[in-house]
A and B are shown apart, each in its own frame.
Chain A
Amino acid sequence: DAGVTQSPTHLIKTRGQQVTLRCSPKSGHDTVSWYQQALGQGPQFIFQYYEEEERQRGNFPDRFSGHQYPNYSSELNVNALLLGDSALYLCASSLNAFGNTIYFGEGSWLTVV
């Protein structure tokens, strides 16, 4: 059983560019969340998708957007990249039920230069 898979693993972008990160949830999971982890910090919640809709959103600007497909896979898009967007972006999946375990992927390392 594959866990949460993310792509790409590493990427470098220039300020002002746009980036798309992809995530496939663990088999059977219907809820996908995205987190940003800056170096030396804990992960910060960006947003969550369930039934192809954004259900919750953290304190991130509109430059951060996402999508969930019918097969539950998800994308994170970041427009107008800033140097401060350099971070590890983690995708997490779970079942839509309280107390269920949340599983994380290995993450996508984004460097903005």
Chain B
Amino acid sequence: GNSVTQMEGPVTLSEEAFLTINCTYTATGYPSLFWYVQYPGEGLQLLLKATKADDKGSNKGFEATYRKETTSFHLEKGSVQVSDSAVYFCALDSGYSTLTFGKGTMLLVSP
């Protein structure tokens, strides 16, 4: 079956530091890949997505590249801000708009 594995948190960084959150997946076929963000007490917001191999999704300074050979979709940002503190979820959709999520990685950014 489908599964997503992402690095455990919390990830604690100082403002302006470089961020990487690792995500690997197992899926049949060629899934679409997503990163969602959840701020405290809120629902999920789509951060970025990629629908085929070598695609790069990007939004608000965050980037992730769909790597089929390593089945990975790592999230990166060059300079984090305090406002980026949230829980980040990697997810895949192998068809029919049904998402399989990782367990989430909490990011804490201090001034």
Which of B45, B46, B99, B101 is the most central at the interface, judged by chain A CB atoms within 10 Å of its CB? Answer: B99
Q: Contacts of A101 on B, CB cut-off 8 Å?
A: 46, 49
Q: Are B45 and A102 in contact (CB under 8 A)?
A: no
Q: Contacts of B101 on A, CB cut-off 8 Å?
A: 42-44
Q: Contacts of A105 on B, CB cut-off 8 Å?
A: 43
Q: Write the nearest CB–CB distance from B84 to chain A, whole angstroms.
A: 19
Size of the B side of the interface (Cβ < 8 Å), in residues, is 24
Q: Are A99 and B51 in contact (CB under 8 A)?
A: yes
Please measure, in the bound complex, the distance between the C-alpha atom of A33 and the C-alpha atom of B43, giving whole angstroms.
Answer: 14
Please measure, in the bound complex, the distance between the C-alpha atom of A56 and the C-alpha atom of B32, giving whole angstroms.
Answer: 18
A42-B104 in contact given A94-B97, A99-B32, A102-B93 (Cβ < 8 Å): yes
Contacting B97 at CB < 8 Å: which of A41, A43, A44, A100? A100
Q: Contacts of A90 on B, CB cut-off 8 Å?
A: 43-44
Please measure, in the bound complex, the distance between the C-alpha atom of A72 and the C-alpha atom of B96, giving whole angstroms.
Answer: 16
Q: Are A92 and B96 in contact (CB under 8 A)?
A: no
Question: Which residue from chain A places its CB closest to the CB of B52 in the assembled complex?
Answer: A99
Q: Tell whether B69 is near chain A: CB-to-CB under 8 Å.
A: no
Q: A: which residues have CB within 8 A of B? A: 31, 33, 35, 40-45, 48, 55-56, 88, 90, 92, 94, 96, 98-107
**Other A-B pairs beyond A42-B103, A45-B98, A102-B34, 4, CB < 8 Å:** A33-B97, A33-B98, A100-B97, A104-B46
Some 23 contacts from A to B, beta carbons below 8 A apart, are A33-B97, A33-B99, A35-B99, A42-B91, A42-B103, A42-B104, A44-B101, A56-B98, A90-B43, A90-B44, A96-B97, A98-B96, A99-B93, A101-B46, A102-B46, A102-B97, A102-B99, A103-B46, A104-B36, A104-B44, A104-B46, A107-B42, A107-B43
Q: B: which residues have CB within 8 A of A? A: 4, 32, 34, 36, 42-46, 49, 51, 89, 91, 93, 95-104
